[in-house]
Amino acid sequence: MRPDLFPSLTDSTVTADDTATLFSPRALYQQVAEKLREQIFNRELEPGSWIDEQKLAVDYGISRTPLREALKVLAVEGLVTMKVRRGAYVTEMSVADVNQVYHLLGLLESDAAAQVARKASDAQLAELQALHDRLESQTGQRDAFFRTNEQFHMALLAAAGNRWTIQIVDDLRKMMKLNRHHSLFKQGRIEESLAEHREVVAALQRRDAPGAAALMQRHFSNGLAAATGN
């Protein structure tokens, strides 16, 4: 097993007995799934590309059993497509897929914004404001902006308090990362997105539920237009 890929499995402070307890086959395939997600999101495994199980097993220093279990996890998440007698492929987003994902995100997150405006605590609103302030300082740092942007949206969902929405949106956001033409890649879209966030946060602070919902819906409509060129 490659120690650089899965360092926790080779930690010298862990005894053999500890390893049997802490790192079951289930834990191993979860680690493999996380590594595969990272490679997919970093475009080391490109959308539409075939996943060479034998090569990956050698690269990871593992058998193909945990690798296949990990691929099943990613298939459930939609990141991987299993094709009969052809193996596993990184899912490629069609224009229809992008439209559907943005449509659902707009519905779910606009509803969450309304809920937050109605019932969020002052501390939760302060957290959202702090994340927005961090975004304001990261316009020239695309990767950092992407991370903070996602943290902002997930913090909004956490404040809304619907765990089912959080679960669905988390899966949908994974799919968004497969889109070759992510909306924030478009010239000027980061600045536009930041201005839209600014308006959403202001509506939340005013406790304006209808306004927050409408602004969040517009945010996703504009993101879709940027992602699809429409």
Each residue's pLDDT tens digit, 40-86:
988 899 888 999 999 999 999 998 889 999 999 999 888 999 988 88
Say yes or no to pLDDT of 198 above 70.
Answer: yes
> What band does 18 get if pLDDT is binned at 50, 70 and 90?
very low
Phi, psi dihedral angles at 80 (to 5 degrees):
-125, 140
pLDDT tens-digit readout, 117-145: 999 999 999 999 999 999 999 887 878 88
- The mean pLDDT of the chain is 85
Interatomic CA distance for residues 3 and 11, integer angstroms: 9
Give the model's pLDDT for residue 182: 60
- Angle at alpha carbon of residue 192, lines to 189 and 196, rounded to 5°: 135
Among 60-69, 163-172, 175-184, which stretch is predicted with the lowest mean pLDDT? 175-184
Say yes or no to pLDDT of 23 above 80.
Answer: no
Interatomic CA distance for residues 32 and 26, integer angstroms: 10
Write down all domains in the chain, each with its CATH number in brackets: 7-90 (1.10.10.10), 95-228 (1.20.120.530)
Q: To 10 degrees, what angle do helices 122-136 and 142-160 make?
A: 170
- 49 Cβ contact list (under 8 Å, min separation 6): 89, 90
Give the model's pLDDT for residue 93: 86
